[in-house]
Amino acid sequence: MPGGDSVLYTIGHSNHSAETFAGLLKSHGITALADVRSSPYSQYCPQFSREALSEHLWSLGIEYVFLGKELGARPEVPEGYVDGRVDFRVVASTDLFKAGLKRLRTGMQKHRVAIMCAERDPLTCHRTILVCRHFKRISPDIRHILADGSTEEHREAELRLVRLFGIEPTLFQPERTLDDMIDEAYDRQSLKIAYQPEESIEEHVET
């Protein structure tokens, strides 16, 4: 049985070939991949559809686990949507989401785990903005595997997110802490990337 690891890794499959993607996992010693896509299929990259991906990984000795129901960005329950858009704070408060985080932590006791979604940049993906935002309270050592094979520490990703929005203390909030600014950056990025069903978009445009 593979040994566990205190580090949680994340990765986006982007438009990698199956071989390149597997090479990225192997280069970081990943022994289990948790797929956090709500819909584990890709029209443009069929190699990352659930069946094809799991079969390929199993052939390489990497376990595949689907956690899209627990940790996906498109909840099936209506209460996960506020004003026609997914609300990450509501999603994170559900028992299902908390159970998904617990499954990750349990899996890390036996494996070196990476969570996977589609986006290349961790800042444009819910794996960071939703999952890692809350998982860091359980285990703060998180590293994002980038497309070139390097890694970005989660704290560095958070600081990059703050810089992305140009957030800084103001004259009226001189006591504002870095963690306060990081929370604002998370909230703003959540609104930017949260899923909004097409019918909700149409209704919004019509009104």
Structure confidence by residue, pLDDT tens digits, 33-73:
999 999 999 888 999 999 999 999 999 999 999 999 999 99
Number of structural domains in the chain: 1
| Boundaries of domain holding 92 | 8-206
Quote the pLDDT of residue 3.
66
pLDDT score for 15: 94
Task: Output the pLDDT for position 137.
Answer: 95
**Does some domain include residue 3?**
no
Residues forming beta bridges with residue 142, ordered by sequence position: 8
Q: Is residue 173 part of a domain?
A: yes
pLDDT tops 70 at residue 199: no
Residue 2 lies in a domain: no
Q: pLDDT tens across 111-165, in order?
A: 999 999 999 999 999 999 999 999 999 999 999 999 999 999 999 999 999 999 9
Percent of the chain with pLDDT over 90: 82
Q: What is residue 6's predicted lDDT score, i.e. its pLDDT?
A: 92
Does 175 reside within a domain? Answer: yes
In a domain, 28, yes or no: yes
Q: Could you tell me if residue 1 is inside a domain?
A: no
Residue 28's CATH number: 3.90.190
Whole-angstrom Cα Rg for the chain: 17
The CA-atom distances, in angstroms, between 195 and each of 22, 124, 126, 169 are 28, 12, 10, 30
Q: How much of the chain, in percent, has pLDDT values that exceed 70?
A: 93
Q: Are 50 and 41 in contact (CB under 8 A)?
A: yes
Neighbours of 204 (CB within 10 A): 12
Could you give the dihedral angle defined by the CA atoms of residues 139, 145, 151 and 157, in that order, rounded to the nearest 10 degrees?
-60
pTM (2 decimals)? Answer: 0.91
Between 31 and 44, the higher pLDDT residue: 31
The string of DSSP letters for the chain reads -----SPEEEEE-TT--HHHHHHHHHHTT--EEEE--SS---SS-GGGSHHHHHHHHHHTT-EEEE-HHHH-SS-SSGGGEETTEE-HHHHHTSHHHHHHHHHHHHHTTTS-EEEEES-SSGGGSHIIIIIIHHHTTT---EEEEPTTS-EEEHHHHHHHHHHHHT----TT-TT--HHHHHHHHHHHHHHHHS---HHHHHHHHH-
Model confidence pLDDT, tens digit, residues 182-196: 999 999 999 999 999
Range of lowest pLDDT (83-92, 113-122, 197-206):
197-206
Least confident of 85-94, 96-105, 109-118, 193-202: 193-202
Q: Give the per-residue pLDDT at 148.
A: 97
Per-residue confidence (pLDDT) for residue 168, from 0 to 100: 86
Q: How confident is the model at residue 200 (pLDDT cuts 50, 70, 90)?
A: very low
Residue 59 lies in a domain: yes
Alpha-carbon gap, residue 115 to 39, rounded angstroms: 14
* pLDDT recorded at residue 197: 85
Joined tokens for residue 122: 């961790």
Per the domain annotation, does 179 fall within a domain?
Answer: yes
Q: Where residue 107 falls among pLDDT bands split at 50, 70, 90?
A: very high
